[in-house]
Structure 1
Amino acid sequence: MSVTINAHQLGLLIDKTIGHIGGEYTAPLNGIRLDVDTTFLYAVASDRYTLAVARYRLLHDDQGGQPFARLIPGEYLPSLREWVSSQTGSTYISISAEDHYVEFGGTHTELRIGVDPGLEYPDWRGLLRTITEHTVEGEPFPALSAGFMTRWAATGDNLRVRVTAAQKAVLVFGEDFIGAQMPVRYAGVGPMKDETFDAVRRQWDKTLAAGAEGLDMATDMPDEEDRPRYEVTTDVYETGEALLQQVLRSGIDMHGKSSSAPDEFLAHINAGVHGWMAYRFLDALHTADPRFARAIAAEVADELDSGEISEFAWDAAKEAGHNPQQWHDEYEAYRKTRKAEKTAA
Structure 2
Amino acid sequence: MTSATTLTAHNLARLLQATAPHVAAEGIGLDQIDGVRFDSDGIHLHAIATDRYTVAVARARLQTAGGASEPFARTVHGHSLPTLRAWVDAHRGDAALNLTAEADHLVLTGPRGTLRIPATGTEDFFDWRKLVHTTLADRPADEPCTRWTSRLWERWQHAGREITTWHTGGTKPLLVLGADFIGLQAPNRPATEQAQTTAEALDAWKASLGPDTGQRLDLATVVPDPSPREYPTATTVPQMSEELLRQTLNSTHGLVNAPSSDPGAIAAYALSGVHAWSAYRLLAALMQADPDLATATVADLGEQLEDGAISEWAWEAATDAGHDPQQWITARAQDQAAKPTVASS
Give the TM-score, by structure 1 length. 0.63
Once the two structures are superposed, what CA deviation does each residue of 1:275-302 show, in whole Å capped at 9, x if it has no partner?
xxxxxxxxxx999943553268789x79
The answer to whether the Cα contact below 8 Å between 1:127 and 1:217 also exists between their aligned partners in 2 is yes
- The aligned counterpart of 1:131 is 135
The answer to whether the Cα contact below 8 Å between 1:233 and 1:298 also exists between their aligned partners in 2 is no
Once the two structures are superposed, what CA deviation does each residue of 1:310-341 show, in whole Å capped at 9, x if it has no partner?
xxxxxxxxxxxxxxxxxxxxxxxxxxxxxxxx
Aligned equivalents of 1:206, 1:180: Cα separation in 2? 36
- The aligned counterpart of 1:29 is 33
Matching of residues 16-165 of structure 1 within 5 Å? 16-24=18-26, 25=28, 26-59=30-63, 61=65, 63-135=67-139, 139-165=143-169
More contact order relative to length (CA 8 Å, sep ≥ 6): 2
The answer to whether the Cα contact below 8 Å between 1:127 and 1:211 also exists between their aligned partners in 2 is no
Matching of residues 127-206 of structure 1 within 5 Å? 127-135=131-139, 139-186=143-190, 195-206=196-207
- The aligned counterpart of 1:290 is 296
Instruction: Give the Å deviation of 1:73.
Output: 0.4
Instruction: Give the Å deviation of 1:210.
Output: 4.9
- The aligned counterpart of 2:6 is 4
Aligned equivalents of 1:21, 1:53: Cα separation in 2? 11
The answer to whether the Cα contact below 8 Å between 2:52 and 2:220 also exists between their aligned partners in 1 is no
Once the two structures are superposed, what CA deviation does each residue of 1:216-258 show, in whole Å capped at 9, x if it has no partner?
33455121333799xx79997xxx9xx9xxxxxxxxxxxxxxx
Once the two structures are superposed, what CA deviation does each residue of 1:14-64 show, in whole Å capped at 9, x if it has no partner?
111111112322211111110000311101111122111111111252652
Decide which structure has the larger Cα Rg and report it: 1
Instruction: Give the Å deviation of 1:168.
Output: 1.9
Aligned equivalents of 2:234, 2:11: Cα separation in 1? 34
Give the TM-score, by structure 2 length. 0.63
SS of residue in 2 equivalent to 1:155: coil
- The aligned counterpart of 1:13 is 15
Amino acid at match of 2:172: K
Aligned equivalents of 2:118, 2:51: Cα separation in 1? 21
Aligned equivalents of 2:234, 2:169: Cα separation in 1? 34
Aligned equivalents of 2:293, 2:92: Cα separation in 1? 51
Aligned equivalents of 1:77, 1:195: Cα separation in 2? 36
Aligned equivalents of 1:220, 1:187: Cα separation in 2? 39
Amino acid at match of 1:18: A
**Shift in CA distance, 37/152, structure 1 to aligned 2, threshold 3 Å:** same
SS of residue in 2 equivalent to 1:77: helix
The answer to whether the Cα contact below 8 Å between 1:3 and 1:62 also exists between their aligned partners in 2 is no
- The aligned counterpart of 2:218 is 217
**Shift in CA distance, 30/220, structure 1 to aligned 2, threshold 3 Å:** same
Q: Percent identity?
A: 29
Amino acid at match of 1:178: I
**Shift in CA distance, 88/116, structure 1 to aligned 2, threshold 3 Å:** same
Count of equivalent residues: 251
Amino acid at match of 1:290: A
Deviates more, 1:147-156 or 1:211-220: 211-220
Amino acid at match of 1:30: D
Aligned equivalents of 1:13, 1:186: Cα separation in 2? 27
The answer to whether the Cα contact below 8 Å between 2:146 and 2:187 also exists between their aligned partners in 1 is yes
Amino acid at match of 1:115: A
Deviates more, 1:172-181 or 1:55-64: 55-64
Aligned equivalents of 1:61, 1:234: Cα separation in 2? 58
The answer to whether the Cα contact below 8 Å between 1:169 and 1:181 also exists between their aligned partners in 2 is yes
Aligned equivalents of 1:176, 1:62: Cα separation in 2? 61
Give the unaligned 5+ runs of structure 2: 244-290, 315-345
Instruction: Give the Å deviation of 1:72.
Output: 0.9
- Superposition CA RMSD, Å: 3.7
The answer to whether the Cα contact below 8 Å between 2:42 and 2:68 also exists between their aligned partners in 1 is yes
Aligned equivalents of 1:234, 1:155: Cα separation in 2? 24
Amino acid at match of 1:145: T
- The aligned counterpart of 1:263 is none
**Shift in CA distance, 288/203, structure 1 to aligned 2, threshold 3 Å:** same
Aligned equivalents of 1:18, 1:7: Cα separation in 2? 16
